[in-house]
Amino acid sequence: MDCSGEHNPSSTSPPHTGTTIVAVTYAGGVVIGADSRVSTGNYISNRASDKITPLTDRVYLLRSGSASDTQAVSDYVRYFTEQHESQLQRPALVKTVAGMIRSMNYQYKHLVGAMIVAGWDAAGGPQVYGCPIGGTLSKESWTTDGSGSTYIWGYLDEEFREGMTRSEAEDLVATALELAMARDGSSGGVVRLVTITEKGAERRLIKPEEHPVLWDELPTPLGVVV
């Protein structure tokens, strides 16, 4: 995630979305994950950021792009969602929350945020919505975004299958993130996973020393900043 927050709409250079975020549905829930590196240009300003933001108990937002822009979007949408739930006296639907994200992304085009909304509700079960820069909203079985996503689209397309177990889905998301972090200079740090089901959300942290060493990598010495 690029935390600079700088974006000139008239610039011909594409916006930078330095990070890797992934969301995958499985039989019974959703697994979402992100790396933790925040960069300002070529400088790593934070290696343990949390890019997974809860919007409700069972709906989460994965953020890539400008850290300040996406944080502002998540704060506003969480506030409006709380008002929505208070009026209806029931949990907000995943689709409703995703629609709020899309609306803000579309109306305020100066924002640089490529985001994913994922969660579970009684009406639709496990759901994943991609919301890239510009305000599009697309419901998917799985999706990925951020600068590291370009390295793992093929892997996820090949390995994902309907009806996976929770363990299989968690392994798929973790492996995809580790592959992206091995190639993308803007992705790194720890792997954060959240599994969302009818019962709620559970977090899991995979530290750098727990990552598998890929075929073209050298082991990371202890104490080295990643």
> Would you name the residues annotated as active-site residues?
19
Render 12-55 in DSSP notation, one character per residue: SSPPP--S-EEEEEETTEEEEEE---EEETTEEEESS---EEES
SS3 224: coil
What span, in angstroms and rounded, lies between the C-alpha atoms of 11 and 73?
A: 23
What span, in angstroms and rounded, lies between the C-alpha atoms of 114 and 109?
A: 12
Residue 77: Cβ within 10 Å count: 26
